[in-house]
Amino acid sequence: MQIKPERTLLSAEATLIASGTIGVIAILGLVTVLLANLWKDTTRDAERSASNLIRLIDADVRRTIELYDLALSGIIEAEKFKTIKDLSPEARHALIFSRVVATHYMGGLLRLNAAGDIIADSTSLEPRVGNFADRDYFQLHKADPDLGLLIGRPIKVRLSDQEWRIPITRRVSTADGRFDGVVMGAMRVSYFDHLFGKLDIGSQGSITLLKSDGTLLARRGLPGELDMVGRNGLDFPNFHRIINGYSKNFSGSSAYDHIRRIYSFAHVENLPLIVVVALSANEVYGGWIQAAIVVGGITFVLCLGVGAVVVLLLREFRQRRLTESALSELAVTDGLTGLCNRRHLEEVLRVECARSARNQQPLALLMIDVDHFKAFNDRHGHRIGDGVLVDLAVIIRALLKRPADVGARYGGEEFAVILPDTDLAGGLRVAEAIRARMAGRPPVGQDLRAGTVSIGVVSRILTPGYGVDDLVMDADKALYAAKGAGRNRVVPAADEADREDLISLSTE
């Protein structure tokens, strides 16, 4: 009965700890989900922004390439007119280059013969002198009649300022299919610098235009970045992922400048070109990081608050448990001797009697009385008398070795000892040990019999016809028999007193 309040408090503490833990886990879980969704939204926004930029670049590049292709096809078709040779040089030049749209970034268009020499030049009536038979695009068209429109590797032009240009070429064939040279346009790479420069990619983003074979045609990177036009993108690990096209979006660190970026790319429609937009991860997730810091700080404070409340309540519960434990201890303990009080003795006795009946094991009960205590107390005073009772309690505690053994103050100078699973012989041994130790105490003045005890002992296996009251009554009878026989002795219950192995013990 005394344990129930403590168990209730322990259960309340466990519930509080579990609730606090679940609460903190729930808060952390919600915040984690919130930040994870915000991260996904931020990533999707960045990919959507990059995709929009790619579409803009794709449309502009396709339109520009179409203009070149239109001009190149116009040259080839103009040469098919039978009367073109009869025209004046001015008229012939105007007809051949009739589809050329002059723009700031469009270089001159050239017509090369089968030997690679310039035979027509969009920039002047009299063609410039030059031979391009050694160029890759010339050799490729010469070898493959079905190559179609070819976007070549970036080159430094020989006829002007050594500026980077991208050759755009088509093969010219005779009526019978023999190689008859090449028509070529040269797009200034500065066109892409102008195009890319108008787009917002942040301070650490990059835009790259690649050929499908990995050749880098144009790039906008960090300010002061070395010129990378003409390099093979396959030298960089991220470009392998782009060329192979495993995913249209991925995150990786640049092997060139070591900046972590979110890469998005797409192939330009119907052209062997790839547009890559890479946005800096630091810039993309900058807002997310700030939000995460704020939310994380609030979450940390909130979790600390929950933890503080739990700690305070636990401290309150534990203080209450300690208080209730102390009160419970006081409720079952005799204030003078520290042994159990009579109320607790009766509770334990009922439990042990039931267990004895259930297990069919003997239960021993010792009833102890201090001899001539009232007269001794009157003669020497309450303080000395209380000292005798305390001494008896110390002796009883010292001799009870098992956890189930219980010593109690039954009332006044009367004490009791419960010994579960103990037969009468065992009970008599414990009783005699108590009696002998009390008798061996130093006398108080000339009072040689001060503090001796008389003890009655009974041991029974409880049955339905023999209960708690019967056990106590038999122990009391044995006690009175010990007192009647002269005190300072141990006497068993009357029905066992005649056994030879259970003779009364006395020091008199």
Q: Which element (helix H / strand E) includes 188?
A: strand 179-188
Type of residue numbered 286: G
- Judge residue 231's burial from the number of C-beta atoms within 10 Å of its C-beta, 0-12 exposed, 13-18 middle, 19 or more buried: middle
Which residue, among 123, 118, 115, has the nearest Cα to 97 in the 3D structure?
A: 123
Query: Which parts of 174-220 fold into alpha helices (H)?
Result: 190-197
Q: Supply the DSSP symbol for 70.
A: H
Q: Which residues are catalytic?
A: 413
Residue 206: phi and psi, rounded to 5, are -150, 150
Q: What are the φ/ψ torsions at residue 291 (nearest 5 degrees)?
A: -65, -40
Determine the Cα–Cα distance for residues 262 and 242; give it in Å rounded to an integer: 12
The CA distance from 431 to 135, in Å, is: 121
Q: Reduced to 3 states, what is the DSSP secondary structure of residue 125?
A: coil
Surface-to-core class of residue 492, CB atoms within 10 Å of its CB (0-12 exposed, 13-18 middle, 19+ buried): buried
> CA–CA separation, 88 vs 110, rounded Å?
19
Cα separation, 329 vs 340, whole angstroms: 9
Q: How far apart are CA 466 and CA 495, in angstroms?
A: 14
